[in-house]
Structure 1
Amino acid sequence: MLDVILVIIGYLIGSISSAIVVCRAMNLGDPRQGGSGNPGATNVLRLAGKVPAGITLLGDWLKGTLPVLLAWLATEDPVVASAAGLAAFFGHLFPVYFRFQGGKGVATGLGVILAWSPLALLATVVTWLAVAGAFRYSSLAAVVAFAMAPIYMLWLSASPVLTAATAILTAAIVWRHRENIVRLAAGEESRIGSSGS
C-alpha cells in the first residue's frame, strides 16, 4: 500500500506545472498561449526572460527529484523509486490539474535522474550542454542527451531497473519532441534565445 501511495504522490507533485504557476504569479500570462505553447522553462525563457525561466526550471527539476527521494527514504527499493520517478515525470507530461496538457519533460526528467543516480545525471547534463553549446538547439540537446541517458545509467549505476526506467523517460521525451525533430530536419527549428516556436 505504501508503494502505491508513493507513486500517487509522485504523480500529483509532477502534475504541478511550474511554468503556469510561475507565469501566473508574476502576471506574465499563460505560457501555453505564446511562443511554442509548451509549458516549460525554454518557452518561459522565450516569453518572459531568464528569472521566470530559472524559477520554472528549478520547480520542474525539484518535482522530479523530491518524489524519488521520498521513495528511497521510505522503501530503499529501486523498483518503487523508479515508479515514483516515472509517475512524477508523466505527471508533468499529463498533469491532472491542467487538463492533462503538460510540458515535454526535460527538466523533470533530469530531476528524476538526479535522484536515481547523480553521476548519470552529471553525464546527461554535460551531454546536453555540449550539444546545446555547439548547435544552439534546445530540442536537439534534449533528444541527444536523453538518448545517451540509459547508457550512462547502466554504466554508472549498474542497475537494470533504473536503466529500464531511464529508457522509458528517453522514449517519452523523444516522442514529445517529435515535432521539433521534424523542424530540425527541415531546418526550421528555433535556436536557443530566439523568439520562435
Structure 2
Amino acid sequence: MQIILCALIGYFFGNINPAFILSKLKGFDIRQRGSGNAGASNTVITIGKKAGLFVALFDIAKAVAASLIAYYLFPQIKFAKILSGACCIMGHIFPVLMKFHGGKGLASLGGTILAFNPVLFVILLLFEIILGFSLDYVCVVPVTGSLIFTLAYAIMTGDPVGTSILSVVSLVILFKHVENFKRIQNGTEAHISFLWKKDQEIARIRKNTND
C-alpha cells in the first residue's frame, strides 16, 4: 500500500501541467500548436521564452516535491524518491487529466535527478548543456540524460528495483522522442538556436517540410 501511495503521489504531481494551463489561459490548447507537446520547449515556441522558463522551473519543482514528499512519508522504502519521481515523469507524459497526452518529461526528469543528488544534477546539467548546444537539438538531452542517470543510479546505489524503474522510464522517454529523431533526419526538427533565430528557423522548417 505504501508503494502504491508513493507512486500515486508522483503521478498526481505529474498531472499538474503548467504548459497546458498557460495555453488555455491564452485561449488555445498547446497540444494543437508547435510540436504538439505540453512542455517547456513548445511553450517557448507557442507563447514565449519567459513562459517557457516558468514551465521548465515548475516541472522541475513538481518532480522535486513529489520525490521529497514520498521520501519523508515513506522513509522505509529505499527507492521512494525514484519511484515517486519516475511516476511524476510518467504522469507528465501520460496525464489522465489530459487524456494521456502531455509533454516529454525532460524537466521532470531533471527534478527527479535533483531530488536524488544535487551534485549529480549539476554535473549532468553541464554535460547536457554542452551536448545539446554542440548538436543544436534539445531532443538529445532527455534521451541521453535518462540513460546516464539510470547508469549512475545503479552504480551509486546498487538498487535493482530503482534501476529497473528508471530503465522503464528511459525506454518511454526514448520512445517519445522517436518522432524528433525522424524530424532531424528530414530537417524539420527545430534547433536550439530557435531561441535567437526564430524567423530563420521557421523558414528553414517550412522549406524542408514543403520539400
Question: Please, what TM-score do these two structures have when normalized by structure 2?
Answer: 0.83
The whole-number CA distance in structure 2 between the counterparts of 1:189 and 1:151 is 28
The alignment-based identity, stated in percent, is 28
- In structure 2, runs of 5+ residues without a counterpart are 195-200, 207-211
How much has 1:31 moved relative to structure 2?
1.2
The whole-number CA distance in structure 2 between the counterparts of 1:123 and 1:158 is 20
- Contact persistence 1:109–1:169 (CA under 8 A): no
Larger Rg: 2
1:74-132 per-position Cα deviation (integer Å, ceiling 9, x unaligned): 12222333222222111111111111111111111111121122233223222220111
Q: For residue 144 of structure 1, what is the aligned residue in structure 2? A: 144
- Contact persistence 1:123–1:152 (CA under 8 A): no
Q: For residue 24 of structure 1, what is the aligned residue in structure 2? A: 24
Q: How many residues align?
A: 196
How much has 1:158 moved relative to structure 2?
4.8
How much has 1:162 moved relative to structure 2?
3.5
The whole-number CA distance in structure 2 between the counterparts of 1:124 and 1:157 is 17
The whole-number CA distance in structure 1 between the counterparts of 2:93 and 2:11 is 10
The whole-number CA distance in structure 2 between the counterparts of 1:50 and 1:80 is 34
Q: For residue 11 of structure 2, what is the aligned residue in structure 1? A: 11
The whole-number CA distance in structure 1 between the counterparts of 2:109 and 2:127 is 14
Q: After the TM superposition, which of the residue ranges 6-15 and 180-189 deviates more from structure 2? A: 180-189
Secondary structure of the residue aligned to 2:103 is coil
Q: For residue 54 of structure 1, what is the aligned residue in structure 2? A: 53
Question: Please, what TM-score do these two structures have when normalized by structure 1?
Answer: 0.88
Secondary structure of the residue aligned to 2:35 is coil
Q: For residue 209 of structure 2, what is the aligned residue in structure 1? A: none
The whole-number CA distance in structure 2 between the counterparts of 1:79 and 1:157 is 10
- Contact persistence 1:120–1:156 (CA under 8 A): no
- Contact persistence 2:83–2:162 (CA under 8 A): no
How much has 1:166 moved relative to structure 2?
2.6
- Contact persistence 1:28–1:48 (CA under 8 A): no
- Per chain length, whose mean CA-contact separation is higher, i.e. which structure has more relative contact order (CA < 8 Å, sep 6+)? 1
- In structure 1, runs of 5+ residues without a counterpart are none
The whole-number CA distance in structure 2 between the counterparts of 1:167 and 1:118 is 20
The whole-number CA distance in structure 2 between the counterparts of 1:13 and 1:142 is 19
How much has 1:28 moved relative to structure 2?
5.7
- Contact persistence 1:127–1:144 (CA under 8 A): no
Q: For residue 180 of structure 1, what is the aligned residue in structure 2? A: 180
How much has 1:157 moved relative to structure 2?
4.5
